[in-house]
Amino acid sequence: MNKNILKWSLMIFSSLLLIGAIMLQTGVIKFYRAFQPFEIIADMDNQIKPSPQKESSFFADSSSFRSAIENTVPKFGSKYHLTDLEYEEAEFENKNPLEPTERVLARGKNRFETFCVPCHNYDGKGNGVIITKVKLKEGEEGFPAPANLTREFTRTISDARIFHILSAGQNLMFPVNYKLSETDRWALVHYIRKLQKDSYIQK
Ligand code: HEC
């Protein structure tokens, strides 16, 4: 009789230990919010860091999405010397150094399909998943549809201006200079021109 109780207690105790260890490992229970949860196999999933697009309780503007700090050099992108309103200067100062070769267009397509399609969609017409598929909660305002990149206006503005928009931003369109190099931005300009040509052919 006594032996049985001992056996059962040991089994229950070890099962509880095992369940506890699993819960700790998977992060179901955390010791402290401020510290990394105890992990048997630390895979660095849990760490205190701002996630892009998440609200931040640390920065005063509550955005986790930070711009480059003054006097620093972005690792992948590059600084741009004009502000978004200096688009007239941009006409003279920005010159596309690339020819629209197959390689350049392939790079532009790759960048476009990585960074731009969620809003602009694959054909550039502005009905990407963020606009059409993201389900909104009641009363929540969605992201307004971006301009159709194949519309007449965007066809007529210069390469320099499109490069300027990519580098300095325009209204809701944020600048991408800090994450895309100058070469990538010029490749994107060529790729946007290709989308515009293709959409003429489709008509
Ligand atoms: C979060 C959504 C979003 C993403 C991602 C995005 N854009 Fe935009 N884009 C917009 C919006 C919104 C506008 C309209 C801005 C305005 O009202 O002037 C815009 C405008 C533009 C324009 C100006 C078009 C015109 O006719 O005025 C260009 C060019 C452009 N985007 C290119 C890009 C490229 C290239 C990328 C990828 C590197 C990109 N965008 C990524 C939302 C986005």
Nearest to 189 by CA among 161, 168, 169, 156: 161
Give the per-residue pLDDT at 27. Answer: 65
Alpha carbons 81 and 167: distance in angstroms, whole number: 9
Consecutive 10-residue averages of pLDDT for the chain (203 residues): 86 92 70 59 72 84 81 79 91 93 97 95 92 84 89 95 95 89 96 94 59
CB within 8 Å of 124: residues ≥ 6 apart: 112, 148, 149, 150, 192, 195, 196, 199
Alpha carbons 70 and 81: distance in angstroms, whole number: 13
Alpha carbons 203 and 200: distance in angstroms, whole number: 5
Core vs surface per residue 138-159: b (16+ CB within 10 A) or e: eeeeeeebbbbbbeeebeeeeb
Cα(104) to centroid of ligand 1, in Å? 20
Alpha carbons 152 and 149: distance in angstroms, whole number: 9
Cα(147) to centroid of ligand 1, in Å? 7
Indicate whether residue 116 lines ligand 1 (CB < 6 A). Answer: yes
Cα(76) to centroid of ligand 1, in Å? 20
Please count the other Cβ atoms lying within 10 Å of the Cβ belonging to residue 40: 8
Does residue 191 contact residue 105 with C-beta atoms inside 8 Å? Answer: yes
Does residue 13 contact residue 20 with C-beta atoms inside 8 Å? Answer: no
Q: Whose CA is nearest to atom 39 of ligand 1?
A: 116
Does residue 187 contact residue 105 with C-beta atoms inside 8 Å? Answer: yes
Indicate whether residue 188 lines ligand 1 (CB < 6 A). Answer: yes
CB within 8 Å of 116: residues ≥ 6 apart: 188
Give the per-residue pLDDT at 79. Answer: 82
Alpha carbons 188 and 154: distance in angstroms, whole number: 14
Give the per-residue pLDDT at 78. Answer: 82
Indicate whether residue 195 lines ligand 1 (CB < 6 A). Answer: no
**What ligand 1 atom has the least distance to the C-alpha of 154?**
26
Does residue 92 contact residue 81 with C-beta atoms inside 8 Å? Answer: no
Alpha carbons 25 and 154: distance in angstroms, whole number: 52
Give the per-residue pLDDT at 166. Answer: 96
Alpha carbons 138 and 42: distance in angstroms, whole number: 39
Most ligand 1 atoms within 8 A of CB, residue of 120, 162, 164 to mutate? 120
Residue type present at position 19: I
The tokens of 54 are what?
């998440």
Cα(70) to centroid of ligand 1, in Å? 25
Give the per-residue pLDDT at 35. Answer: 56
Cα(13) to centroid of ligand 1, in Å? 59
